[in-house]
């Protein structure tokens, strides 16, 4: 019953009981005090009065005896009359005292004593009267004899008995006072017991209340801690009422809400909401949960040209396509393998125990299933996929390495238009040392660590150096000279080439302007990347640099690779036309390695072609290389373009190019790249010889 009460009710009841006990203690105390006061008053009003009356009887008797003795000694009548009046007054007062004492309702024993004193008082009064009469009739002598014989004896008895009565009454009063003390002690003891009882009952009530509140609250606290630790399967006690019941119901609601939210969060954290496949985080955890001795394959599958489908048909169709692909993959690989959606249109498969052959066989089944037409809203969507496969532990031990290696294989598959490639067949990405160089390039540019080297170009007809190519080098303070192939490709990938090229152009234009003023007629060439050619401020920047330096535009040649012309060709063509209009020379670098060389030669405002070193190497002994170079020379002669043979390294290659009327040769057979002071000195000596 007590447990079912609310905390408020319990506290009200407990304090009510304690208040009642305190009121009872106060009432008993007041009652006992009233009783003590009344008893004290009785003692004062009765016992003291009784003793006083007994004392008065004794005093009046003595006074009467004294007056009588005076009468017995007084001879004059007039004086005796006065004594008679005093005697009568004392007799009346004594009689009244006896009467008052008799009316105090004493005990039988005391009453008997009073009656005895009253009788003696009456006998004494009679004898006293008779003595007085003898005085008047027979004289004082006879009266004195009568007094001594009879009256005096009764008087002594009266005085003695009155004194005894007074002492008896005093003893009675003392006895009652002792009884009063005992009553006060009992009252005090009763009050103490009531107070102790109130304290004990209060302590018991406090203990029961604390037990009824603290223990459930402590259990609720423990339960809340367990819930906070993630134990959502714990039972929350039911049936409690009041505040504790409300607290437990709140804990139950909190547990259910937290469990529900955590389940949703867990799903969001580990499940792709579109396809219901594991996401990247869950896929990584599942992979890392395997044992170190396990082997298998990690596969990345990507839908080719998914973006055009999204753009043409909308994201809703794209989402349904992603779900259809996920269903088809699951239908082939089964429950023994893990399928996840990493992001966008890329899926990951974990094939435990698979080797190269079994992974190839299974993935070809997956590819065939996915490539089947997908009907969506009455449309047939034909899709192609590419896959990259990394084997573990051969290609790596952790998910990060394997995903990266599989990504490289996937990129190779897309680049080669293949459906399947293995990471083992393709080199790894940049090394950590190369990645650190990428991060250092910006600081290197600010610190002036980049320098320009110049490689001369020999004009075969005049055997003079008439042109040079500017090549950037990185003089690292701790790693020494770093060749451009170790950082330029990454600068292009990260976009940092946009900062490097303006610095190179400014340096080359400044150097060429100076040696032109010094009388050296050598055309300087600088390279433009794809990002440079797409920069809308390129033409204005070059024009400003030329104007500031004073270099004639025809003393600067800009070399463009064919790959730079493939991206945004309209913008590239516009920039080339604008640069050509400034008077600059334009050159197509690495000619022959692209796929649209003749078309570019036909439409671009270029002045020269640079034949790639792949065709120049061993041109004197390789008929196919010779045929390609010879045909290019004839084509350029017809189109009015000069030709630069790049990468010539032997005297035989130089002789062949001379015989076949090549215009310029660049390579180690002529000279290696040199810093500016060394280049100027070398060119001056060479052209003077």
One DSSP character per residue, 189-221 reads: HHHHHHHHHHHHHHHHHHHHHHHHHHHHHHHHH
Res. 469: pLDDT tops 50: yes
In b/e form, how buried is each residue of 62-83, taking b as 16+ CB within 10 angstroms?
A: bbbbebbeebbebeeeeebeeb
Within this chain, domains 10-205 and 448-688 share the same CATH topology: no
The average pLDDT across 128-151 equals 76
What's the first-to-final CA gap in the chain, in angstroms? 122
* CA trace torsion 590, 592, 594, 595 (10° rounding): 160
Asked if the model's pLDDT at residue 135 lies above 90, the reply is no
Supply 628's token pair: 């390609």
pLDDT at 598: 63
Report whether 370 contacts 325 (CB < 8 A): yes
Does pLDDT of 237 surpass 90? no
In CATH terms, 280-424 corresponds, of 3.30.70.270, 2.40.50.140, 1.10.3720.10, 3.30.2230.10, to 3.30.70.270
DSSP state of 75: -
Q: Does 1 score more than 80 pLDDT?
A: no
At residue 677 the predicted structure's pLDDT band, cuts being 50, 70 and 90, is very high
User: Which pLDDT score is estimated for 40?
Assistant: 62
How many other C-beta atoms lie within 10 A of the C-beta of residue 191? 16
Which positions ≥6 away from 252 have C-beta within 8 Å? 236, 238
Query: What does 593-611 look like in DSSP terms, one character per residue?
Result: SSS-HHHHHHHS--SEEEE
Confidence of residue 431 (pLDDT cuts 50, 70, 90): low
CB atoms within 10 A of CB 307: 12
pLDDT above 90 (res 583): yes
**Lowest mean pLDDT: which of 134-138, 442-446, 674-678?**
134-138
- Does pLDDT of 472 surpass 90? yes
Residue 95 φ/ψ, nearest 5 degrees: -65, -40
Residues 563 and 597 sit within 8 Å (Cβ to Cβ): no
Sign, CA dihedral 495-490-580-598, equals: negative
How many CA atoms lie less than 13 Å away from 533 in the CB half-sphere?
26
Torsion angle in degrees (nearest 10) through CA of 611, 614, 618, 620: -30
Superfamily of domain 10-205: Lipoprotein, type 6 (1.20.120.240)
CB-neighbour burial class of residue 219 (10 A; exposed 0-12, middle 13-18, buried 19+): middle
Judged against a pLDDT cut of 60, whether residue 495 lies above it is answered with yes
User: Lowest mean pLDDT: which of 7-21, 243-257, 269-283, 404-418?
Assistant: 7-21
Give the integer Cα–Cα distance in Å for 583 and 594.
27
Cα gap 595→357, rounded to integer Å: 35
Across the range 155-169, mean pLDDT stands at 75
- Could you give the CA distance from residue 411 to residue 364 in angstroms, rounded to a whole number? 18
Q: In sequence order, what are the residues at sequence separation of 6 or more whose Cβ sits closer than 8 angstroms to the Cβ of residue 428?
A: 405, 408
For residue 257, report the phi and psi dihedrals to the nearest 5 degrees: -65, -45
Lowest-confidence region among 62-71, 477-486, 537-546, 555-564: 62-71
pLDDT of residue 405: 92
Closest CA to 491 of 527, 561, 442: 442
**DSSP state string for 479-503:** TEEE-GGGTHHHHHHHTTHHHHHHH
Q: Are 350 and 295 within 8 A, CB to CB?
A: no
Q: Which of 24-38, 49-63, 261-275 has the highest mean pLDDT?
A: 261-275
Cβ proximity of 500 and 451 under 8 Å: no
Most confident of 22-36, 233-247, 348-362, 429-443: 348-362
Averaged pLDDT for residues 151-166: 75
Q: What's the pLDDT at 45?
A: 57
Long-range contacts of 220-224 (CB under 8 A, 24+ apart): 220/244, 220/247, 220/248, 220/251, 223/251, 224/251, 224/254
Tokens, residue 568: 């945004």
pLDDT for 511 equals 96
Report the C-alpha gap between 416 and 43 in whole angstroms: 130
Per-residue pLDDT for 460 more than 90? yes
10 Å CB burial of residue 536 (0-12, 13-18, 19+) is exposed
The answer to whether 117 and 165 are in contact (CB under 8 A) is: yes
Mean pLDDT of 146-150: 77
Per-residue model confidence (pLDDT) at position 241:
62
pLDDT of residue 568: 67
Contact 605, 572 (CB under 8 A): no
Q: Which residue has the tokens 């004193």?
A: 117
Average pLDDT, whole number, for the chain? 82
Query: What angle in degrees, to the nearest 10, is found between the helix axes of 242-270 and 7-42?
Result: 160
Please, are residues 663 and 643 in contact by the beta-carbon 8 Å criterion? Answer: yes
- With a cut of 70, say whether residue 5 has pLDDT above it: no
* Rounded mean pLDDT, 9-16: 67
φ, ψ at 231 (rounded to 5°): -90, 85
470 contacts 517 by C-beta, under 8 angstroms: no
> Maximum Cα–Cα distance for the chain, whole Å?
210
**How far is the C-alpha of 86 from the C-alpha of 71, rounded, in Å?**
11
Residue extents of the structural domains in the chain: 10-205, 280-424, 448-688
Tell me the torsion sign for CA atoms 216, 217, 222, 226.
positive
**Secondary structure tally for the chain: helices H, strands E:** 24, 17
Helix (H) or strand (E) holding 440: helix 432-447
Please state which of the ranges 121-135, 278-292, 364-378, 403-417 shows the lowest mean pLDDT.
121-135
Measured CA to CA in angstroms, residue 103 lies from 92, 110, 119, 165, 203 at distances of 17, 12, 16, 15, 55
The C-alpha atoms of residue 408 and residue 402 are separated, in whole angstroms, by 10
Give the SS3 label for residue 49: helix
Most confident of 369-378, 591-600, 615-624: 615-624
Domain 448-688 falls in which CATH fold? TIM Barrel (3.20.20)
Cα distance between residue 45 and residue 52, in whole Å: 11
Burial class, 401, CB count within 10 angstroms (exposed 0-12 / middle 13-18 / buried 19+): middle
Angle ∠(552,558,561) on CA atoms, nearest 5: 170
Q: Measured between alpha carbons, how far is 509 from 124 in angstroms, rounded to an integer?
A: 166
Alpha-carbon distances, residue 14 vs 2, 17, 201, 206, 207 (angstroms): 11, 5, 9, 8, 11
Residue 579 has phi, psi (to 5 degrees) of -65, -40
Handedness of CA 218, 219, 220, 226 (dihedral sign): positive
Q: What share of the chain is helix, strand, coil (3-state, %, to 5)?
A: 65, 15, 20
Of the pLDDT bands very low, low, confident and very high (cuts 50, 70, 90), residue 110 is: low
Rounded to an integer, the average pLDDT of 170-174 is: 75
> Could you tell me the pLDDT band of residue 596, with boundaries at 50, 70 and 90?
very low
SS3 520: coil
> d(Cα 508, Cα 500) in Å, to the nearest integer?
12
Lowest mean pLDDT among 265-269, 334-338, 476-480, 487-491: 265-269
pLDDT the model gives residue 279: 93
Which region, left, alpha or beta, applies to residue 429 given φ > 0 means left and ψ of -120 to 50 means alpha? beta
The backbone torsions φ and ψ at residue 289, rounded to the nearest 5 degrees and listed phi first, read -75, -10
Report whether pLDDT(236) > 80. no
Task: State which H helix or E strand residue 355 sits in.
Answer: none
Burial of 485 (0-12, 13-18, 19+ CB in 10 A): exposed
């Amino acid at each position: 019953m007590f447990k079912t009460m609310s905390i408020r009710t319990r506290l009200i009841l407990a304090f009510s009981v304690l208040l009642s006990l305190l009121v009872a203690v106060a009432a008993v105390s007041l009652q006992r005090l009233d009783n003590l006061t009344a008893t004290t008053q009785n003692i004062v009003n009765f016992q003291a009065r009784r003793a006083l009356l007994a004392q008065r009887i004794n005093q009046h008797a003595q006074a009467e005896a004294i007056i009588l003795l005076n009468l017995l000694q007084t001879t004059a009548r007039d004086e005796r009359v006065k004594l008679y009046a005093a005697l009568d007054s004392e007799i009346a007062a004594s009689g009244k005292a006896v009467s008052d004492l008799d009316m105090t309702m004493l005990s039988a024993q005391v009453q008997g004593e009073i009656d005895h004193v009253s009788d003696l008082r009456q006998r004494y009064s009679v004898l006293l009267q008779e003595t007085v009469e003898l005085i008047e009739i027979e004289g004082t002598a006879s009266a004195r004899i009568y007094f001594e014989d009879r009256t005096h004896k009764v008087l002594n008895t009266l005085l003695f008995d009155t004194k005894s009565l007074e002492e008896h009454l005093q003893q009675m009063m003392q006895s009652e006072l002792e009884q009063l003390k005992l009553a006060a002690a009992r009252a005090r003891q009763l009050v103490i017991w009531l107070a102790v009882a109130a304290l004990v009952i209060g302590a018991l009530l406090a203990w029961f209340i604390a037990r009824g509140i603290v223990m459930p609250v402590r259990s609720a606290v423990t339960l809340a801690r367990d819930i906070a630790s993630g134990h959502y399967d714990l039972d929350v006690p039911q049936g409690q009422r009041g505040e504790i019941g409300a607290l437990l119901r709140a804990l139950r609601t909190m547990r259910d809400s937290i469990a529900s939210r955590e389940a949703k969060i867990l799903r969001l954290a580990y499940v792709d909401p579109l396809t219901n496949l594991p996401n990247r985080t869950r896929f990584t955890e599942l992979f890392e949960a395997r044992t170190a001795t396990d082997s298998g394959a990690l596969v990345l599958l990507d839908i080719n040209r998914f973006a055009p489908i999204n753009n043409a048909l909308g994201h809703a169709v794209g989402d349904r396509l992603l779900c259809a692909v996920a269903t088809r993959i699951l239908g082939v690989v089964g429950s023994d393998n893990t399928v996840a959606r990493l992001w966008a249109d890329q899926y990951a498969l974990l094939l435990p125990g698979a080797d190269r052959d079994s992974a190839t066989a299974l993935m070809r089944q997956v590819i065939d299933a996915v490539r089947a037409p997908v009907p969506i809203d009455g449309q047939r969507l034909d899709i192609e996929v590419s896959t990259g496969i990394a084997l573990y532990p051969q290609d790596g031990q952790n998910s990060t390495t394997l995903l990266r290696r599989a990504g490289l294989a996937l990129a190779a598959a897309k680049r080669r238009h293949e459906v399947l490639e293995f990471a083992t067949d393709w080199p790894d990405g940049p090394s950590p040392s190369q990645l650190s160089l990428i991060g250092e390039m910006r600081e290197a540019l600010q610190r002036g660590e980049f320098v320009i080297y110049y490689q001369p170009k020999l004009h075969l007809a005049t055997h003079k150096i008439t042109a040079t190519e500017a090549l950037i080098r990185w003089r690292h303070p701790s790693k020494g000279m770093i060749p451009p192939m170790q950082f330029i490709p990454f600068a292009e990938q990260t976009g940092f080439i946009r900062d490097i090229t303006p610095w190179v152009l400014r340096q080359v234009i400044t150097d060429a302007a100076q040696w032109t003023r010094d009388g050296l007629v050598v055309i300087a060439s600088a390279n433009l990347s794809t990002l440079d050619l797409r920069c809308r401020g390129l033409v204005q920047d070059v024009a400003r640099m030329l104007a500031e330096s004073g270099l004639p535009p025809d003393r600067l040649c800009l070399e463009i690779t064919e790959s730079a012309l493939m991206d945004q060709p309209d913008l590239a063509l516009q920039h080339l036309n604008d640069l050509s209009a400034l008077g600059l020379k334009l050159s197509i670098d690495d000619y022959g390695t692209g796929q649209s060389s003749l078309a570019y030669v036909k439409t671009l405002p270029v002045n020269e072609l640079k034949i790639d070193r792949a065709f120049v190497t061993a041109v004197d002994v390789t008929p196919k290389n010779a045929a390609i170079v010879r045909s290019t020379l004839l084509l350029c002669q017809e189109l009015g373009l000069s030709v630069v043979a790049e990468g010539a390294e032997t005297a035989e290659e130089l002789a062949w190019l001379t015989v076949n009327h090549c215009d310029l040769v660049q390579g180690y057979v002529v000279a290696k790249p040199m810093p500016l002071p060394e280049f100027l000195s070398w060119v001056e000596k060479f052209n003077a010889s």
